[in-house]
Chain A
Amino acid sequence: QSVLTQPPSASGTPGQRVTISCSGSSSNIGRHTVNWYQRLPGAAPKLLIYTNDQRPSGVPDRFSGSKSGTSASLAISGLQSEDEAEYSCAAWDDSLNGFWLFGGGTKLTVL
């Protein structure tokens, strides 16, 4: 069964740089682009990064994405308290006729 693996938690202090990883396989990240979503407490997910490294309008450039092989990463620099949220990666998976696959989510705590 295809999975996108993320660490369940991450943390940092204000001003720090934090990186969240997303590990997949050749059927998903290895062949397709990656999106990242931010879900603030009590809110719906928000598109943070699309096509590996593109930011939608309005997303601060403190957020950046990258992809290499079958893995992707989300980096947040200049960490702020309002960045405390759950972050999830997503990619299309080619197995079983294809479907959108999400990672398990990473809860980011700003200490």
Chain B
Amino acid sequence: QLQLQESGPGLVKPSETLPLTCSVSGGSISSMYSGTYRWGWIRQSPGKGLEWIGQVHSGGTELNPYLRSRVTISVDTSKNQFSLRLKSVSDADTAVYYCARLDSGGPGDYWGQGILVTVSS
């Protein structure tokens, strides 16, 4: 059974960079990386709806146009992980961040449990 687990700091200061990692177990990213699957990040800020941040696959990355200038998503197949870096964070970036496996039809059955990240000085 594929499992995803987010890790990273729970508190980040304004203007700094938020680094998050998603560790995948129960399956190999590399075997799925070259296929139809994407590995992505989705967040939910307090009182707001889900927001797709972006996704990475063998063909490259696709990013939310409203976050594109601040987001980097990468894959480390040797560690079976993929990562998110969100720079220049502000209060508006306080959210629960989820990693997920997506396909052409969008976020699917496999999500991490989520990690709460608070932006505060």
Name the CB-closest residue of B to A54. Answer: B105
Is the CB–CB distance between A99 and B65 below 8 Å? yes
Do most interface residues of chain B lie in helix, strand or loop, or is the interface mixed?
strand
Contact of B51 among A33, A92, A102 (CB under 8 A): A102
For B, the interface residue count at a CB cutoff of 8 angstroms equals 21
Closest chain-A Cβ to B69's Cβ sits at a distance in Å of 13
Is the CB–CB distance between A99 and B98 below 8 Å? no
A37 CA to B49 CA in the complex, in Å? 11
Contact of A100 among B52, B98, B109, B114 (CB under 8 A): B52
The 14 listed contacts between A and B (C-beta, < 8 Å) are A44-B98, A44-B111, A44-B114, A46-B111, A47-B109, A88-B49, A88-B50, A91-B106, A92-B106, A100-B64, A101-B52, A102-B42, A104-B49, A105-B49
Give A contacts to B, CB under 8 Å.
6, 33, 35, 37, 43-47, 50-51, 56, 88, 90-92, 96-105
4 closest Cβ pairs, A-B complex: A100-B52, A96-B65, A104-B49, A102-B50
